[in-house]
Structures are given as C-alpha cells and as structure tokens.
Chains A and B, each alone.
Chain A
Amino acid sequence: MPRSPNAPAVFESLHPSVPAAFLLGTLGVSMLAVQPVYLVFSLAGGLFCSLLCRGARETLWALRWQLPLLLLLCLLNPLFSASGSTLLFRLAGRGVYLESLAFGACMGALLLSTLLWLGCADVLLGPDAFLDLSGRGLPVVALMASMTLRLVPQLMGRAREVEATLDACSAAGEARGTGGLRGRAARLNGVLLSWSLEDSLERAAAMRARGWGARERRSSYRPHPLRPSDAPGLALVVALLLLNALLAWVAAGQWRFYPSMPTLLPWWGYVPWALQLLLPSLLVLRDRLIWWRLP
C-alpha cells in the first residue's frame, strides 16, 4: 500500500503490531512522564525520526505552526500560574517565576513531541494498520472502516465534480446562483444524496450477491500474518517499553516543579529511553546503509 512519498519502505516488512506497540508505548511514556530529560529526549527522537522518515520539507512545514504553539504554551503558563521560588522579573505587578516558565516549556515539549510522533505514525504504520489489526477480532468493524475509507473520498470527489461541472456550464447563467450560496449548497446536497442512495441500493445488492450474511461470522483475510521473524522485534519493543515505563515512573516520582526544581544528574536510566526512541531511526539508517553498500 503506498504511503507518503518519502516514507521508507522498511516498515512495510514488519507486522503492523510492532510499530503499533512502539508508538503506543512511546506516546504513553512521553505523555505520562513529565520530567525534563524524558521530554527533551522524546522531542529530539521524534524530530530525528520525522526528518528521516517524512523528509525535511514535510517536517519543517509542520513545525511552522507547531513551534509557535510551543512558544505560546511556554510563555502563557507563567501568566496564569504565579508560583515557584525563583523570581525572574515582574510583569504588570505579577511575578514571573523560573519554575512556572519551565513547567510551561515542558508542557509545550510534551505537546510538540506528541504531534511529531503522531506525524510519524502515518509513515510507521501505513494507512492499513488499523484495519489489519482490527480485522481478526472485529471483522465487521474492519469492513465498516474500509467502506468508510472508500466512500468518503468518493463522495468528496463527486462533490468537486458536480461543482466544477456547474461552473463549466456558464450557458445556464444565473440559474447556477439561484438562492445564492445556500441554494447552491442545497442543490449539491440533493445531487449527492440521490446519487449515494442510488449507489447504495446497487452496492447492497452486490454485497448480498457475494454472500454477505451467509455465515454468522466472517473470517478475515490477512495479507500480513504475524511471522516468526516478527517475534524478536516485538519482544524487544515490549521489553524496552516495560523497562522504560518502570524507569520513567521512578524518575518522574523524584521530579517536581514547585516550589523549586531538584538538580538533574546523569543517570544510566535514561539510556534505555534514548535507545527506544532511536529504534525506528536506526531501522531506517540500517536500511539506507544496506542500499548504499549495494553495487
């Protein structure tokens, strides 16, 4: 299945459960462990992965609104919560404290890293992952999702075509604008509604003709079965996740913003977190190296 044009094909060789477990875990730890080192690592890892997988252009294009958001959060928090012990300066009679500025910055980093990882999710998982993963347990839900994925673009395409054709028929003159924009929208809705209803009759017949409802339970075709070679990857991801969840719990437990922040010290516990965040990037780099060395 085609992904975004810059997406490395390497993730397609994994069962979708591997990147799905990775993403769920990474997002979960990033969002729950509000501790500067964890957040900075997550932010850097997300940025690196996004640059590698989605390309510089797409990443920078997204940062154009994400960075101002980070800055805004960072600056807004001190205005609303005037707590902390290190007074930086006074603004309109309110104290601006280092601690509340740091808390704002951490919240901004949390949001930005979440956005970055979600941006990578499309590349890591591919559009079919949800359907693949839900297909086995919930075949009917997977089918409904699949139908939605088909019908929504079809409807949008038809809407564009109806509008464009109406624009093209200038001989129909002012008739196009009867009732102005609202009249036009009503006409478009009418056309799309009757078209979709008509279609749905034939689609329902086509579904029945292909045995829809013939069995109590549908089976589910899986083009990507979980293969033995996926097991080590899945095991590694899950093991790292559990370890990091534990370490993050310890680290976040020792951290506080108010009234004053403790000093950060080097700690071996950050290493597994960095390793986990680098996993997808390492996979992409290994793939590039293989292709670079090929004659």
Chain B
Amino acid sequence: MTMPAALQAQDLSFAYATPGGGAAPVLDAVSLEVPQGAFALLVGGTGSGKTTLLRLAKPEVSPVGDRGGDLCVFGEPVEELAADPLCSASRVGFVFQSPQSQIVCDSVWREMAFGLENLGLGQVEMRRRVAETCYFLGMEPWFRSRTTELSGGQAQILSLASVLVMRPRLLLLDEPTSMLDPVAEKGFLALLRRVNQELGVTVLLATHRPGPLLDFADMALELKDGRVHELALGELRSREGLRVQASMPARREEAGKAALELSDVWFRRTRDSEWVLRGLDLSLGEGECRAVVGGNGCGKSTLLALAAGVLRPQRGRLRRPLAGSQALLPQDPKVLLSAQSVSEELMEWSAAGSYGWGDVQNIMNELGICQGLAKLHPYDLSGGQQQLVALAKLLLARPRLLLLDEPSKGLDQGAWHAMVRMLLSAREEGATILLATHDMDLVRVLADSVTLLFDGQAGPSERTGDFFEGSWLWR
C-alpha cells in the first residue's frame, strides 16, 4: 500500500464570499500533491492566492467562501479534520507571517504551553513536549524571557516552537521570514530544515522570495492565475540570479560639506544597561549615501534614532544641519501608516511637502503600484507594498536627509527594484542618505561608502568598491 500524500488537492477551486456573489475565483482547478517528508515551496506573486491555498488546508483558519473539489491531508478530507479539532491541531501546524502578532502570551514558557493547554494535556506530557522542543531548537537560554523582549528572529523561532510542540506532521508556513533580517532568516530556515530532515515533518512554505530556500527545498509549486504547476528548482534559481545585475550608478567622489556629524557618541538605554554605542564617530557629507552594516543588535537602529534626534546621547556631540528636513523610515512600515486609503496616505503630508495629486500619481507609477490599489486600505496591501508606500510617503515630502532602517526587508524582486529606482532618483536629486541594512546587494547598487559598525563603534568608512574588495565575507 502506498503512503498517502501529506497534502493532495484535486480540482480545488475557491472564491471569496462577497455580498453580491460572483467574485472571481482565487483558485481555479488546482491539483497538487506534496509527498510525505517533502520540503515544498509555494511561490507566486503578491495576491496570487498562496495564503488562501495554505489556509484551506487548515480548517480552523480557512477563509469563508465557495469551495469546490477535494483537499486531503494524509489521505483524509479536510472536512474530517474540521470535525475533529483535536486531531487537526496535532496533525497540521500553521506558522504565520508576523512574529509579534501571532504570539499570544507574555512569557516564552507560557507561549510554548498555550497549544498544549488547549488540548487539555496532563502535566507530565506537557513538560516532556516543551522540554524536547526547546532542546531541539536550542531555546533554553531565553526560555524564561518575556516575549516582548525577544528579537524578531527569536520571536519567529518561538512561533515555530509553539506549533511544533503539538507535534504536527504537516507544517504550513505563510511567508515566515519576510519580517526578518537576512541573518535571522538564515537561522530560522536552518532550524526549519532540521525539523524537516530530522523530525520528518512535511513542510509547505509559501514565499515570494525563494532565493534563500533553494539549497534545501525538494520541490517548488508555482501558483499563477489561480492554477498550480510544478516548477523545476533550477528555473527558480536562474530567476533569482538576476537581482544584482541592476545598473551600477556612478559613485560620487567628492563629498560636500557635512550633513550629519556624530563625534564620540556614547549611548545606553537605561542607567543600568550596557553601552550600545561606545564613542562612535561618523560624519556624512551632503549628498552622500552611506550604508551602515553590522550584526544584529550592534546599534544600527540606535544610530539612526540618534541621527534623527529622537534619542539623545549621554556623552558626545551631534551636529545635524539638516534637522529641519529629514525623514526616517522605520523597520515596520505600519508605524508610518495612518490613513484610510493608500491615496489619502500619500496625500497626508501634501501641505507641508507642497506636492499635489499629480506627484502622487507619478510616484505610484514609478513604484508599480497600480491605480486600483489607491483606494485600498494600506493594511490590505502586502508587507512589501506597505513598505513601498511608506517610502513613497517620505520621498514625496522631499527630505534632504533620509534615514532608512532595513528598507529592503521582505521585498520581492519587483518591489526591490522599484525601491532601488526610487532611492537612486532621490540620490540624484541630492538627498543625503544614511542606510542601515543587512542587504549587501542594496549596498552595492546604492551606497557611495560603507561603515562597519561593531561593538558600539564605527569602523573607518570606505568607498563601497574598496569595502567589498577588502572584505572577506562579502567579496
């Protein structure tokens, strides 16, 4: 007897329920098969229905609408899972995109126990499962932490752990790393690979950026125009390779007069905490684009907040001649989004920035945000589109100093190129840019010079070419 597939769809179709009825189907005659033990990718552009497809396989989070065809999990139709929540919870696990919004409890151990408590398990069994999962994922050092204190990467590992602790045989993940920086992303994916290989859990991961996963995925399914077809991994790889071949701009040789100067800056969050910055020196010429790179927690975001004047150093001097015309792009674009629609959002600062609806339309074209999206609520956009809208909002105000915190996080290829184009044209117009990022491709195409931040101090800033030439890691 052959093993049933972990997930199998036959002629699956789905259309969202709308008041008038007759909405266009998101999925149309989808047939697919994910064998047990596989590591499968589900790729496709934003809004192609990846999330819908994943959610249909998990009855508790299935969208409401018109479904046709068959969908089986380990040979059983999902309807049977829906009737038996206990079985469903322990057979199919689901990890969502945002680490901060899917965590329920205040402490790590309570979060780990949450699912097990829902299943009503006894003390001994709970203890064993929590212990084994923590051991496997190496979570002991922060098992007693508060969930608000976790870094993004740790929070997403916790989300994975709190699902794994229920011992699912099929793990569905919806863009799990799109809010993580590349270092945290690598850590998360390495763990996921071990879950797949050592625990034999079948993985189906939806992503619009398959690059980092290509080395260990077994198969890829592409969702396009409501249909799924299998894609050779080689083809995905060749698509990914295109990214860095963006045109290299001419570097500025001479920096203008200082646009931002930090000298001997010391900073710590509270009186008892460790120094984040220890005597940092940094100076930025007008019109220069400087990339600040460095590990997680090395103080890149702190540096930006200081440069923006949001934080004050305990010691040292700050000169900010452009303080009256600056803009800060935070890591999470939601911080900047306040209006009811994309168009209102982009018009929010029109009076102060003295721009009009025409400029907004221009920038939307440049970004590849089609006019149809203008009426949507910003929250109905994908994370990458939100990021672009937030950046566009800043650029419309024509700041002379742009402070960008990890601007390319979670962008798919199209959005990445759109963002680079926008930043390049802002640079052409003379904006000074301070960019904190892990994305070395972005540094290559955008930055005039690079500063490596380590141990609270800034290394000497080098021209981008020299920096990569002399580097051992990023050559």
Binding site for B on A (CB under 8 A): 1-2, 5, 128, 131, 139, 143, 146-147, 149-150, 153-154, 157-158, 161-162, 164-165, 167-176, 187, 190-191, 194-195, 198-200, 202-203, 205-215, 217-223, 225
Those of B79-133 within 8 Å (CB) of chain A: 85-86, 88-90, 93-94, 96-98, 100-107, 109-110, 112-123, 126-127, 130
Of A164, A167, A208, A218, the residue contacting B60 (CB under 8 A) is A208
Residues of A within 8 Å of B6, CB to CB, are: none
| B163 at the binding interface (Cβ < 8 Å) | yes
Shortest C-beta distance, A50 to chain B (Å), equals 19
A157-B148 in contact (CB<8A)? yes
Residues A171 and B398 in contact in the complex (CB < 8 Å), given A150-B147, A154-B100, A165-B328? yes
Q: Which residues of A contact B17 (CB under 8 A)?
A: none
Question: Quick check: A212 and B118 within 8 Å, CB to CB?
Answer: yes
Any chain A CB within 8 A of the CB of B445?
Answer: no
A146 near B119: Cβ-Cβ < 8 Å:
no
Residues of A within 8 A of B166 (CB): 210-211
Cβ-defined contact, B330 with A165, below 8 A: yes
Query: Given that A1-B144, A173-B352, A221-B109 are contacting pairs, would A211 and B85 also be in contact in the complex, using a CB cutoff of 8 Å?
Result: yes
Cβ of A145 to closest chain B Cβ, rounded Å: 8
**Roughly how many angstroms separate A161 CA and B405 CA in the complex, as a whole number?**
13
Cα–Cα distance between A202 and B103 once the two chains are bound (Å): 10
Q: Which of B117, B309, B325, B399 contacts A220 (CB 8 A)?
A: B117
New A-B pairs, 4, CB < 8 Å, besides A150-B104, A171-B397: A131-B110, A147-B106, A161-B330, A218-B118
B64-72, B187-195, B244-252, B331-339: which lies at the A interface? B331-339
Interface residues of B in 43-69 (CB under 8 A from A): 58, 60-61
Interface residues on B, range: 35 or more
- B residues near A (Cβ < 8 Å) are 58, 60-61, 85-86, 88-90, 93-94, 96-98, 100-107, 109-110, 112-123, 126-127, 130, 144, 146-148, 159, 162-163, 166, 272, 305, 308-310, 323-328, 330, 332, 334-338, 348-349, 351-353, 377, 379, 394, 397-400, 403
**Number of residue pairs spanning A and B whose beta carbons lie under 8 angstroms apart:** 202
**Interchain CB contact under 8 A, B85 and A213:** yes
Can you report 11 residue pairs joining A to B where beta carbons are below 8 Å apart?
A: A150-B103, A168-B327, A170-B399, A171-B325, A171-B353, A173-B353, A190-B338, A207-B114, A208-B60, A211-B90, A221-B130
Q: Are A169 and B61 in contact (CB under 8 A)?
A: no
Least CB distance from A285 to B in Å reads 25
Q: Is there contact, CB below 8 Å, between B102 and A150?
A: no
In terms of DSSP, what is the predominant structure of the interface of chain A? Answer: helix
| Across-interface contacts of B323 in A (CB, < 8 A) | 170
Decide: B337 and A191 in contact? CB cutoff 8 A. yes
Give me the 4 closest cross-chain CB pairs, A-B, nearest first: A173-B352, A211-B89, A221-B113, A171-B399
* Residue numbers in B under 8 Å from A190 (CB-CB): 338
Task: Write the nearest CB–CB distance from B186 to chain A, whole angstroms.
Answer: 24
A54 to chain B, nearest CB (A): 14
**Alpha-carbon distance A195/B116, docked complex (angstroms):** 28
Please tell me if the beta carbons of B117 and A218 are within 8 angstroms of each other in the complex. Answer: yes
Tell whether, in the assembled complex, residue B379 and residue A194 are in contact, meaning their CB atoms are under 8 Å apart. yes
CB contacts (< 8 Å) of A191 on chain B: these are 334-335, 337-338
Contacts of A5 in B (CB 8 A): 272
B351, A169: Cβ atoms under 8 Å? no
Contact A221 B126 (CB under 8 A): yes
Contacting pair B305 A175 (CB below 8 A): no
Contact flag A153-B104 (CB < 8 Å), given A162-B335, A171-B353, A221-B126: no
Q: What A residues does B146 contact at CB under 8 A?
A: 150
| C-alpha spacing A207/B118, complex, angstroms | 9
Given contacts A168-B328, A214-B89, contact A203 B102 (CB under 8 A): yes
Q: How far is the CA of A198 from the CA of B105 in the complex (A)?
A: 18
**Contacts A169-B399, A221-B110, A222-B123; is A175 near B351 (CB within 8 Å)?**
yes
Q: How far is the CA of A225 from the CA of B351 in the complex (A)?
A: 62
From known contacts A150-B147, A168-B327, A190-B338, infer whether A128 and B398 are also in contact, taking CB-CB under 8 Å. Answer: no
- In the complex, chain B residues whose CB is within 8 Å of the CB of A167: 308-310
Tell me the bound Cα distance from A73 to B220 in angstroms.
75
Q: B109 contacts which of A171, A217, A223 (Cβ < 8 Å)?
A: A223
| B101, A199: Cβ atoms closer than 8 Å | yes
A147, B147: Cα distance in complex, Å: 11
Is B120 a contact of A195 with CB atoms below 8 Å? no
Most chain A C-beta atoms within 10 Å of own C-beta, residue among B88, B106, B336, B337? B106
A168 touches B309 (CB 8 A): yes
Q: By the criterion CB–CB under 8 Å, are B328 and A215 in contact?
A: no
Which one, B58, B305, B352, contacts A209 given CB within 8 A?
B58
B309 close to A219 (CB less than 8 A): no
Nearest B residue to A196, CB-CB? B101
* Contacting pair A205 B61 (CB below 8 A): yes
Contacts of B113 on A, CB cut-off 8 Å?
A: 221
- Which residue on A lies nearest to B120, using beta carbons? A215
Smallest beta-carbon distance B271→chain A, Å:
11
- In the bound complex, residues from chain A placing their C-beta under 8 Å from that of B159 are 206
Cβ 8 A contact of B326, one of A1, A168, A207, A213: A168
Query: What is the chain B residue whose CB lies nearest that of A194?
Result: B379
Q: How far is the CB of B114 from chain A (nearest CB, A)?
A: 6
Interface pair B308/A168, CB less than 8 Å apart: yes
* Bound Cα distance A246, B162 (Å): 50
